[in-house]
Structure 1
């Protein structure tokens, strides 16, 4: 005589029939804590995973099977292939119920970045998200990252220069000042009567990736974007680094439209995406609202 296990003896209302015969587009879980490995680091992420419930008579899916599939991503470097294998495994666990599955991972990539001039260095956190799906049309994969940078307003810079010119003319009305007098005036508070306003700004870059690529383009994306902007925020800075940052801001005056176009041209040079969306947000120091610009492109069909 075979004795049923404790689990087999428990009731399972989920395996019953629905009282309302309707399919559902998405059923799953969100905000699941999941450790992954990226660039050799252990990263804490939050995962959302769900499937379609295509069987209208089924009361529910096997949620615990989705949860049990997720740790597959913790055992090796996170890659497009590993994500696809997880989706295939999790979707197989819902046989007879579902024909589509989706996954989102959210976390922060922590990278050591050098200072601008000195030999100092510090860590910066880059928020990221991965969106993946598997359905009858194939495997879909996207990578998003958020990059913080500084933006100095071109209009404010021009108005500040005008004030400096006016103060110069008012100070040296009738005389022709010597080079040393002008140098002393420029170094004094009077030589900079106004400063242009700058603000911390955010670029959110969303890449639709070619699904068969071997790796995620973490560093390619960051380095291309930060080089295009010219003023990524810094971590540890010494005085010479702060001066170099002030110079970089002065040489990279940007409206939000300028930043969006710079990033568009830079991201277009990457070989990874088949499409992308860029949103820049300048968290205004002059206004109580933000300035926003968006740019999108469809580069080629995913292969």
Structure 2
């Protein structure tokens, strides 16, 4: 093949598009000789409650009470610490440095290990407190209701842990899951059939540190969302399965108001939950809008 275009060498092409030679500076390149601006002591007017980094994407390992029992997924982290009034800034590189170290040590992310991680973050950053938020997709096997064909479902999990030297720790866990709902009003007024919708449920549970945590909070929160809906969603459905799911939804009609109250009742009965917030949103199939409800409750 013949090429007619005569290109200059790559360094010359770079210069053509604006590249210049590196400046020979006078500032030190040795870390010990560099001025540490962020650790310069002074009165900087205010303490800062939280400062750090967000939207940190990192692979994590988790366990599950249902198949697959061990899995690697992608976590989205927020790593924050307190900053005292006398310190100008934090050493942010230490945040991702600790995350990488935990990862190389085969960290299995759970509530207890996240508490340890958060406390160590405060210590390493030489601050009184730290807060870590984590969100990730959790995968679990589900069989179709009649023929039992397997497939993988997923729900989104979120965990938040805060630690303070004097006050100890607080934490929340939660889930965002999808279900099927069927309109009770449509069923009542129609000669046949009833419209249905996909419901999106978000649960946030505040942990009661005086009660024992379940083996896997993910499965308990998922059950609270799904068992109170008209029907579950499935990754694989054959015709006998579709018949089963359709009839189950028809037998269990739910307004969004019904759904959120039934979920609240389940959460109320869980001793490890001190308070909770629920959001339910039905993606309506015959309306242009969505139906939504929110509920918050504290047992304290």
Q: Which band: TM-score by shorter chain?
A: 0.7 to 0.9
Aligned length: 262
**CA displacement, residues 136-173 of structure 1 (integer Å, 9 cap, x when unaligned):** 32211111101101111111112212xxxxxxxxxxxx
- In the alignment, the residues of structure 2 paired with residue 293 and residue 198 of structure 1 have an alpha-carbon distance, to the nearest angstrom, of 17
Change in CA separation of 1:152 and 1:76 when aligned onto 2, cut-off 3 Å: same
Q: How big is the shift at 1:35?
A: 2.1
Contact 1:208 1:276 in 2 (8 A): yes
- 1:118 equivalent to 2:147? Answer yes
Partner of 1:152: 182
Which structure would you say has the larger RCO, counting Cα contacts within 8 Å and 6 or more residues apart?
1
Which structure 2 residues correspond to residues 1-303 of structure 1 after superposition, within 5 A?
6-17=30-41, 20-39=44-63, 40-54=70-84, 56-71=85-100, 74=103, 75-95=106-126, 98-135=127-164, 136-161=166-191, 192=192, 195-211=193-209, 213=212, 216-300=216-300
Q: How big is the shift at 1:198?
A: 0.9
- In the alignment, the residues of structure 1 paired with residue 268 and residue 100 of structure 2 have an alpha-carbon distance, to the nearest angstrom, of 34
- In the alignment, the residues of structure 1 paired with residue 252 and residue 101 of structure 2 have an alpha-carbon distance, to the nearest angstrom, of 44
Contact 2:44 2:87 in 1 (8 A): no
Larger fraction in helix: 1
SS of match in other structure, 1:14? coil
- In the alignment, the residues of structure 1 paired with residue 152 and residue 272 of structure 2 have an alpha-carbon distance, to the nearest angstrom, of 26
Change in CA separation of 1:6 and 1:297 when aligned onto 2, cut-off 3 Å: same
SS of match in other structure, 1:81? helix
- In the alignment, the residues of structure 1 paired with residue 111 and residue 223 of structure 2 have an alpha-carbon distance, to the nearest angstrom, of 21
Contact 1:36 1:44 in 2 (8 A): yes
Partner of 1:180: none
Q: How big is the shift at 1:17?
A: 4.2
Higher alpha-carbon deviation: 62-71 or 122-131? 62-71
Partner of 1:174: none
Contact 2:260 2:293 in 1 (8 A): yes
SS of match in other structure, 1:262? helix
TM-score, length-normalised on structure 1? 0.80
Q: Say what the alpha-carbon RMSD is for the aligned residues.
A: 2.2
SS of match in other structure, 2:190? helix
TM-score, length-normalised on structure 2? 0.80
SS of match in other structure, 2:227? helix
| Unpaired stretches in structure 1, ≥5 consecutive residues | 162-191
- In the alignment, the residues of structure 2 paired with residue 43 and residue 210 of structure 1 have an alpha-carbon distance, to the nearest angstrom, of 27
